Structure 1
Amino acid sequence: MTDSSYTPGHFRVCGRDFPQIKWWQLKNLRSAYFLLFFVILTSATNGYDGSMVNGLLSLEQFKTYMHNPSGSIKGLFSGIMFLGSLLALPITPYIADGLGRRWGICIGSIIMIFAVVLQSASVNFHMFIAARFFLGFGVAIAHGSAPLLITELCHPQHRAIFTTIYNTTWYIGSIIAAWLTFGTNHIGSQWSWRIPSIVQALPSILQISCVWFVPESPRWYISKGRPEEALKVLAYVHAEGDAEDEVVQLEFEEIKETIGIEKEAEQTGWLELFKTKGNRHRLLILLSAGLFSQWSGNGLVSYYITGVLDGIGITDPNVQLVINGVLNIWNCIVATTMCFFVEKVGRRKLFLISTAGMLGCFIVWTICSERYDATKVHANGNAVVAMIFLYYTAYNTAWSGLLVGYTVEILPFSIRAKGMCYMFAMVDIALFFNTYINPIALNHIGWKYYIVYCVWLAFELVFVYFFYIETRNTPLEEIAKHFDGEAALVGGAAATEKGRILEHDVHEKEITTTQVEEKV
């Protein structure tokens, strides 16, 4: 569902095409995007944690200190974090919508720093698990604000790339943790696992220090009755401070009118996503995206690569850590590269390519695992490692970045924060179940557990085909038209009229300039 009249090399606002800009040539836009790096760190923090747990479970020093935890305890190490996230979600949108996007990031970071201190000082696995609960609580609050600020602050031309990049930075944190634990594995004391835990506080410290230099969401300012501040932010970020810029004026009018319409309709509650056909369609996408992003087999490697590699005869901790580290570098390269194809290829097509690729790879992965189990031939085990890399290539084509990039843009402002909570809740439920069940299932039935994911991936492919729609080349406020049709609550009249006035003014100036030149 794209507008066939869209002109390549342009971006669209209020039905009008404008020539693309080069952000690196504009001082304010360049500065804003640099500062957004500190907002993106929220996702990197999450990635660091997942890889760190993987690494710690490969460290003999950690396993010995924690009295060689069983499969269920290993599951609890990871799963309790997602339970903490789940319990934080009901308050998350009230912080993001009430106090602002920046305060949400700051509050979440403060809680995470407290949790890291507790985790690093742990003297038993009970204390370690309690720390991870609070870590999940803080991550959820920061996660509930960071992508909203990115989506609502970015220039229309760059929104898709930046919101997609947000979730792919999970791998940056993951890479750092993977190689740090590889290095500390050579420390013959408790510091081998305490050092990676302490370093986990660094992103949160950076966020608390720098997030206040990032402009607040102009849409949030308008929702709080502060349009002058909203216009000032739009002008500063999108037009080098020129409040009379045509793009800025069109954006401002459309945002102001759309949020005004949403307020009048009073569509801001938790149940709004159940009330209309368009919102139910959004809810299906939100819940399925959260579920599919974690129940596609990726959880086996993201949190329990040691169990997968043990099952194919690769048991050396150093080798496991190297594979984990190299895999995360590869994932980061693929996921980041695909961010630049979101507008060119389209969301729906990328989701279909990604899911079909995962299904094919997982089937071969399962067959090779069965062959190794039956023959103990190392070539079959090596083939599994190759299929893991190919599987993640397919996964990162869409599910890594678009999990947040796609879901945040399909939601109207009035229910954006709450809608994202539905998605993150499904992520946490899936992860809590997966991280607790995966090690137990791998211990008891081995490769046969992979068959479940083969069947599930086939279902995912069918679901995506029928329910995921295309939104590329569509301004943020106007995406509602894809879901709600004529009933979409989109500000258009005021923005369109403003566009006519600006166009008329430009035309008059051109005539005046021509007349002056003719006289001269």
Structure 2
Amino acid sequence: MALPPKVYQFLVSVFASVGSILYGYDLGVIAEAIASDNFNNQFHPTKAEQGAVVSVFTGGAFFGAMFSGVAGDYLGRRSTILLGSIIFILGGALQTGAQSLDYLYAGRCIAGLGVGFLVMIIPLYQAELAHPDIRGMVTALQQFMLGIGSLVASWCAYGTYTNFSADNSAQWRVPLGIQIVPAVVLAALIMFFPESPRWLIDHGQAEKGLRTLARLHAHGNESDPWVQAEYNQIQDAISFEHEHEAKSYFELFKSKSSFRRLILVTAIQASVQMTGVSAIQYYSPTIFAQIGIPTGDTLKYQGINSIIALIAQALCIAFIDKLGRRWTMIGGNLGNMVTFIIATALLASFPPGETKNLGAEWGFIIVTWVYNFCFSCTNGPLSWIVPAEVFDTRTRAKGVSIGVMVSFAFNTLIGQVTPIAMESVGWRYYILFVVCNFTNALFFWAFQPETKKRPLEEMNYLFTNAPLFVPTMNMKDYEQHDLENRLEEAERKASISSHVEESDGRYQETATKIS
């Protein structure tokens, strides 16, 4: 029995999200790797070198995201995923065999380059495959699989730390080497999955695009009313884009509608990093050590943290298409702000390394868990969902590319600055994230329109006609209903055709009897 279309779309997207596991795994593994006894005994990294181990990866990812916009448009979505996987495999191998910090830097930079390709193109690919009703669920898989990667990394690092001695480099080499496995699987199988129908239609392969739409939405039935309605809408939208828009980065800055979307997307990506997530992910083991928590316990608590994040991400997948994007983003930032206020108060009252207080230790651990839950069910997934759905076909890859570049630029900045800032100003550094979470919430309340369940081809209408200051608008006034109207028309034509065929059949039967 054939799978229901939405289930098929979801499963295709699950496989594509294997690429997100790579990023999540790195986020989870690198903090544990640089905290391991053998790593520190072998390389003796300074605070700046610890920051460089983290930030050189995100620096490479910045350039990967930069190149992926062009690659996604010219090579296609699947081929870009393949390219990113191959680059990551090379970088992962170099990291695993590193004999010096310079060797490790090179491997992490190359792996970051591959991740930059993958995290840009995967949510875009998912959004272009999915039905509008499940698009949020599907693109939220990016953060969920990132959480899977982080979970696996945390427990792998914990296992190698507890089972290998401090004089065995397997403490950190094994966790770094495991990340190669999902990259090999993704590279080997991605070309067996469907290409984006929008990319095919945009590149003169309309018939193949129609077949792909039918495969995704109607078990291969090209006459299905939904398939015909969406195919016609995509064709009309792309024809308009070809006539009125240049397929270049310049178009994102020239068109007011495109520029508005670009500002929103870059603000989302920058704001996500300024929630404090990178500071928590990369350096919480160091902070735990400073407040007196043993390394083994720290790694165990990080593993629990990853499970909490996964539960939160699963909740987002289940409810994001019901709750919407705008208020989820606002609420997430306000929740993050509260957790950072508490964390700042704890660090100020019980300075790490100066006092020993069991209640403060557990308070900081629990606040970290609560923050991670809040971030993982709101801002984290939405940083992939919204950018992938707001641009039109001609500018989508390049717009998402710029957004991801901004994300990695801020990620690199936080990764490099955090260990130095924590050493220099201590708990006062966390005040930055309290302020940023509040201003994030204020910005999205003012300027982010709701986009849930809106077809991709109707985003242009929303961002062209809706007022810039969102609280004054009625969203129903800016619902185009173009796809619904096309679907009704396609169903009407299908019904007429069916009646005509039925009448012809009765006529033929009558004629046969008479003769």
What's the TM-score, normalizing by structure 2? 0.90
1:87-486 pair list within 5 angstroms: 87-185=63-161, 186-188=163-165, 189-314=168-293, 316-373=294-351, 376-485=356-465
Equivalent pair of 2:13/2:138 in contact (CA under 8 Å): no
Check if 1:503 corresponds to 2:492: yes
**Residues 253-283 of structure 1 deviation map (CA, whole Å, 9 limit, x = unaligned):** 0001101110111332112222233222212
* SS of equivalent residue, structure 1 residue 140: helix
Structure 2 unpaired stretches of 5+ = 468-478, 511-515
Equivalent pair of 1:105/1:145 in contact (CA under 8 Å): yes
Cα gap change, 1:510/1:337 in structure 2, threshold over 3 Å: closer, same or farther? farther
Cα gap change, 1:118/1:464 in structure 2, threshold over 3 Å: closer, same or farther? same
Q: How far is 1:301 from its partner?
A: 1.6
Equivalent pair of 2:245/2:251 in contact (CA under 8 Å): no
What is the CA–CA distance in structure 2 between the aligned matches of 1:28 and 1:425, rounded to whole Å? Answer: 33
Residue of structure 2 in register with 1:52 after alignment: 29
Equivalent pair of 1:301/1:308 in contact (CA under 8 Å): no
1:54-73 pair list within 5 angstroms: 54-66=31-43, 68-73=44-49
Q: How far is 1:329 from its partner?
A: 0.8
What is the CA–CA distance in structure 2 between the aligned matches of 1:209 and 1:34, rounded to whole Å? Answer: 17
Q: How far is 1:451 from its partner?
A: 1.3
Cα gap change, 1:486/1:257 in structure 2, threshold over 3 Å: closer, same or farther? farther
What is the CA–CA distance in structure 2 between the aligned matches of 1:244 and 1:516, rounded to whole Å? Answer: 20
1:149 maps to amino acid? Y
Equivalent pair of 2:331/2:441 in contact (CA under 8 Å): no
Q: How far is 1:500 from its partner?
A: 2.3
What is the CA–CA distance in structure 2 between the aligned matches of 1:169 and 1:498, rounded to whole Å? Answer: 34
Give percent identity, aligned residues only: 26
Equivalent pair of 1:238/1:248 in contact (CA under 8 Å): yes
**Residues 63-104 of structure 1 deviation map (CA, whole Å, 9 limit, x = unaligned):** 1111x2111100000100111122233321221111111110
Cα gap change, 1:493/1:321 in structure 2, threshold over 3 Å: closer, same or farther? closer
What is the CA–CA distance in structure 2 between the aligned matches of 1:26 and 1:430, rounded to whole Å? Answer: 41
Q: Which residue among 52, 58, 75 is the counterpart of 2:51? A: 75
Equivalent pair of 2:94/2:107 in contact (CA under 8 Å): yes
What is the CA–CA distance in structure 2 between the aligned matches of 1:375 and 1:493, rounded to whole Å? Answer: 63
Cα gap change, 1:64/1:235 in structure 2, threshold over 3 Å: closer, same or farther? same
1:180 maps to amino acid? C
* SS of equivalent residue, structure 2 residue 90: helix
Q: How far is 1:49 from its partner?
A: 0.6
Q: How far is 1:332 from its partner?
A: 0.9
Question: Which one is further off, 461-470 or 320-329?
Answer: 461-470
Q: Which residue among 11, 17, 20 is the counterpart of 1:43? A: 20
What is the CA–CA distance in structure 1 between the aligned matches of 2:496 and 2:58, rounded to whole Å? Answer: 57
1:473 maps to amino acid? K
What is the CA–CA distance in structure 1 between the aligned matches of 2:387 and 2:432, rounded to whole Å? Answer: 26
What's the TM-score, normalizing by structure 1? 0.89
Q: How far is 1:43 from its partner?
A: 1.1
What is the CA–CA distance in structure 2 between the aligned matches of 1:494 and 1:469, rounded to whole Å? Answer: 20
* SS of equivalent residue, structure 2 residue 459: helix
CA-atom RMSD in angstroms: 2.6
Q: How far is 1:305 from its partner?
A: 1.2
Structure 1 unpaired stretches of 5+ = 1-23
* SS of equivalent residue, structure 1 residue 169: helix
What is the CA–CA distance in structure 2 between the aligned matches of 1:97 and 1:492, rounded to whole Å? Answer: 28
What is the CA–CA distance in structure 2 between the aligned matches of 1:151 and 1:372, rounded to whole Å? Answer: 46
Cα gap change, 1:493/1:465 in structure 2, threshold over 3 Å: closer, same or farther? closer
What is the CA–CA distance in structure 2 between the aligned matches of 1:494 and 1:445, rounded to whole Å? Answer: 55
What is the CA–CA distance in structure 2 between the aligned matches of 1:333 and 1:63, rounded to whole Å? Answer: 33
2:146 maps to amino acid? W
Equivalent pair of 2:271/2:436 in contact (CA under 8 Å): no
* SS of equivalent residue, structure 2 residue 194: coil
Equivalent pair of 1:356/1:461 in contact (CA under 8 Å): yes
Question: Which one is further off, 475-484 or 376-385?
Answer: 376-385
Cα gap change, 1:501/1:449 in structure 2, threshold over 3 Å: closer, same or farther? closer
Query: For this pair of structures, how many residues does the alignment match?
Result: 492
